[in-house]
Each structure stands twice: as structure tokens, then as C-alpha cells.
Amino acid sequence: MINKPAPAPTPPGQSGAIPTGTRWSDLIAGLSVAGLLLPEAVAYSGIANLPPQAGIIALLIGLLCYGLIGKSPFAIASATSSSAVVLAAATAQLASGNVALQLLLGAGLLMLTGLLFLVAALARLGNMSDFIAKPVLRGVTFGLVIVIILRQLPNIVQIHPRHDDVPRFAFELLSQFPSWNLVGLLTGGIALALLTALGRIRRLPAALLVIALGIGANAWLNLTGYGVPQVGTVTIHWDIPSLPGLSRVQWSRLGELAVAMLLILYAESYSSIRYFALKHGQDTTPNRDLAALGVANLIAGLMHGMPIGAGYSASSANEAAGAQSRLAGLIAAAVVLLIVLTLLPAIALTPEPVLAAIVIHAVGHTLQPSMFRPYFRWRRDRLIVVGAVLAVLLLGVLDGLLAAIAASLALTLRQFAEPNLSVLGRVGNGHDFAGRAVHPDAQPVPGILIVRPEEPLFFANVERMLTRVRQLMLEDPTTIHTVVLSLEESPDLDGTSIEAMSEFADFVAQGQRQLLLARAHDEALAVLARAAPPALPLTTRYLSVDDAVTAALQHR
């Protein structure tokens, strides 16, 4: 009889039975993070110019959808501050002051964003956030945090500027300093100090405690009598899921804005998910996370909620509280629902400065100018970082975000489109070849021009790249008898590249020279075999530059 080996234990956060110790850790984490998430959800609703129920509905939907579909054991999907700002800017711009229309536009934007998430998951575009350069993303985030904090100050000092753009908003706020409500300023300052102090204690629901203290202070000191308003009635209406009645033009405009919402939500979510995966040595499943966020945002749109993403602050709190699996998020959803059913009326008594302080504390950890220091030390991307921050502050949240994303994509295209070409030479007497501009000891092979495009060949750069090779050939037209083109940086070739290479092969043949290819990838070789340029037969393709040079010398 053969004894079968016992199955390997399942790591926490993966499929399989959840150990008892893990369940207990997830229970503690779920209880802890629920106390943070509910006040933030109410506060983020105010940022988005939506009723408090929108943030609570988004919180419950996000926790359930990601807990059932997502993969990361630490990620918490809920309403986020940055997406709330983008939603407010987008819908306000289209609604022109019509509050009812703004609610419908917000629902439509969320539904389209959810559908785009699902399409991206089906198309396996899990790495699409990589198209937003890190300096651009950090600059946009920094600018958004400044906007969020500025927009909370009126709720603290009870001064409401008439303009929305940051320069005039800040000027009006400061110019009315004599009219600031100093009691509200003191209340917000004390609440922020308490949040900072209590936040250092692990697994302590600091936000709920500060809200409780704020309600107590209001009842004891009569803050309302000093002009400090309360949050007001918070009620939950479980609306029947429905499609918003919008025109075709409005849907079309929302489709454009949904792309921006998708990119900012996923860039924020994937960066936090990837951070904790690397920290704990776990794998990421980007396409599965796309599907989870897609379902969550689609349902949130139908239920008139808020954009949902896996923000860093909530996920960090979940990890710090000891979460071991997605069960922590599901427990947090149950606790939030219990609080909503029992204690929600009490939140209405919270002073507005306290809620504003919770928002400032939640986003304040990302307001770190030191994260820009490496770019200035490296002397790389300095203008990009500063430009992304200024774009958000000067152009507004939505236009600045779109401008920053466009700049990121433009930088990518510019990098690929540059005709960056290296002329190779032999290193010593061996088989290695390197760029002569970087390695002075690399010597040219007499009669052979060896070139290597340093970017993948595609429609935007192939013509200029091969034109540069032609110029190098014309600089020494009498001695060059062979051109070796190394394609190691081009995993595949598009139609424009094939046509350009065919024309270049004809040019080389007309000058009684030969063109040899080296280090071509299988996909590139396959498409060249199908195209079969007459001047570039299969016999001219070699596995290495050294093989191509050897063949050229033997043929000569």
C-alpha cells in the first residue's frame, strides 16, 4: 500500500479552508477597519457633492464585491477621495448647477466606468496602468490631495468661496480671514490632533472615537450656538437599480470621462495592491482585480453610489490591523451594515469640522514633498512632476487629470518614436558586440555596418530609424558591403515596419550590398516569412550578431 503525501497547507489569503487563527485575525481587522471606513465614506460623499448615503452604499458594495471576486487579502475596495473629486468635477461641469441632473450623470459615469473595467478584464489589460508614468501619477496625486484639503477648509472655518478654481478659491478663502469661525477652526484642529495621536495605536478605530468625542463636545459646549454646524440627517434609501435617463450626447461625453475615471481608479488601486503583494511575497492577479472593480462600480452606478477603488489608506489600515484574507473585508461590510442600521442617526450630530478633519487626516499621509526629491537628484522627470501638480491646481481637477494622462501617453510615444540607434563594434577578439558610443573599446568590423535600434520598431519610428541607417551607409559608400540589423529590441513588427524594411532591403540591394538580420524574435521572423521581401530571404537571418558578421566575412 502506497501512502499518499499530505497536501501542502494553503497560505493565508489563498483558496482553501481558512485556519481558525486566520479567522480570528480577520475578525479583529474587520472590526477595526469598519470604524475607519464609515466616517470616511460619509466625508467622501461631501467631496463628491452627493448625499452621505452614496458613500455608504459604495462602501458596502465595494467590500462585498472585492471580498467575493478580488484576490488580495489586504485590499479594501471603497469610495476614495481622489475619485470623489474627479466625480464632482466631471458631473458639475456637465450639469451646470442642476443637482438632479448631476446625480444622474454620476450614476451614468459609474456604470460606464464599470463596463470599461469589465471590458479591460476580458481583454486582459491588467497592466494598463503602466502607461501612466510614475512621476505623472505622483504629481497628480499630490495636486489632488492639495485640492481635497483646500475644499475641506470651508467646512472648518465656515467660509465658502464663490469660485471653484484653486487660485481664486484660495485667494477668497484667505482674504476673508477676519470672518473665519475660530471655534470651528479650533474644533477641526483638535480633531486632527486626536486623529494623529490615536492613529498610532494599532487596531484602534480612531475616526469613530473622534466622532464620538465630537458629538459629546457639541452636546456639552453647544458648538452649534457658536456657528459650528452639524453634518445633518443621514438616511439610507435602498433605491431599485435603474438606468439614468440621459441623452445620447450626455452618454457620449460620459464615455470620454469614464476613461479618465478608469485610469485614476485603477492606477490608485493597482499601486496599493501591488505594494502589499510585494511586501508579503504574494502574486497579483490584475485581470481578476479589474473584474472585481468593474462589477463594484457597475452596481454602484445602478444603486446611485460613488466610484469604488482599492485606496492605499484603507488597505494599509486593514493590513496593519492584522488581516490575513479577504474575510476581513467581508466582516467589515457586516460591521458597517450593523452600524448603519443602529447608530447612523448619531453620525448626523457630528460637527462638520470633525468630519473635515477625518478627510484631511485620511489623505494627508500622501502629502509628502520628499517623494519628489529623487527626480531632482536624478535630474530626470522634474518638469513632468511639477507640471502634473500645476495642471491639477491651475486647470482644475478634471482637465488637469486629463492633461496629465495625455502627457504621460505622449511621453511614452515620444520615447518609442525617438530614432535611438546604436552602431555596434566587436569587443576585443571575442564574440561580443556593444555600442561604440558607450564602449570605446568596441571596434568596427571593416566593411560591415552593424546597427541596433534601441526602441521597438513600429509605425512612428521605423522610417526615421532606417533613414538614419541610410545616412550612415552614405557616409562611407565605398567600403561598406554588408549591413547587419539587430532586432533584439523588437519583439514583433507591424505593417508599417514590414513595408519600411522591405523598401530598405531594396535600397541596400540596389547598392550591391547585402542586408543581414540578427537576433530577431520568433514573432518578427514569422511575419517576415509571411511577407517574404524579395531582397530579404530567409537565409539572411541569424541568431546572433557574431553569426551574421561571420557569414558576411565568409561571403565576402
At 20, is the pLDDT very low, low, confident or very high (cuts 50, 70, 90)?
low
Residue range of the domain that includes 544: 421-555
Greater confidence, 415 or 496?
A: 496
**Is-contact 465 421, C-beta < 8 A?**
yes
Distance CA 498, CA 532 (A): 10
For residue 393, give the nearest of 175, 177, 171 by alpha carbon. 171
Question: Is residue 383 in some structural domain?
Answer: yes
Question: Is residue 449 in some structural domain?
Answer: yes
Distance CA 40, CA 111 (A): 23
- Same domain, residue pair 399 and 426: no
- Same domain, residue pair 391 and 425: no
pLDDT digits (tens, 9 = 90+) for 368-384: 888 888 888 888 888 88
The CATH number assigned to the domain holding 549 equals 3.30.750.24
Question: Is residue 1 in some structural domain?
Answer: no
At 430, is the pLDDT very low, low, confident or very high (cuts 50, 70, 90)?
confident
Question: Is residue 7 in some structural domain?
Answer: no
Question: According to the model, what pLDDT value does residue 58 have?
Answer: 93
Lowest mean pLDDT among 41-55, 315-329, 525-539: 525-539
Contacts of 491 (CB under 8 A, 6+ apart): 456, 521, 523, 524
- Same domain, residue pair 371 and 442: no
- Same domain, residue pair 138 and 216: yes
Total domains, the chain: 2
Task: Give bridge partners of residue 427 from the DSSP assignment.
Answer: 442
Mean pLDDT of 398-419: 74
Contacts of 227 (CB under 8 A, 6+ apart): 158, 181, 183, 184
pLDDT digits (tens, 9 = 90+) for 437-458: 888 889 999 999 999 998 888 8
At 6, is the pLDDT very low, low, confident or very high (cuts 50, 70, 90)?
very low
Distance CA 362, CA 93 (A): 26
Answer whether residue 8 shows pLDDT above 60. no
- Percent of the chain whose pLDDT exceeds 90: 29
Question: Is residue 13 in some structural domain?
Answer: no
Question: Is residue 14 in some structural domain?
Answer: no
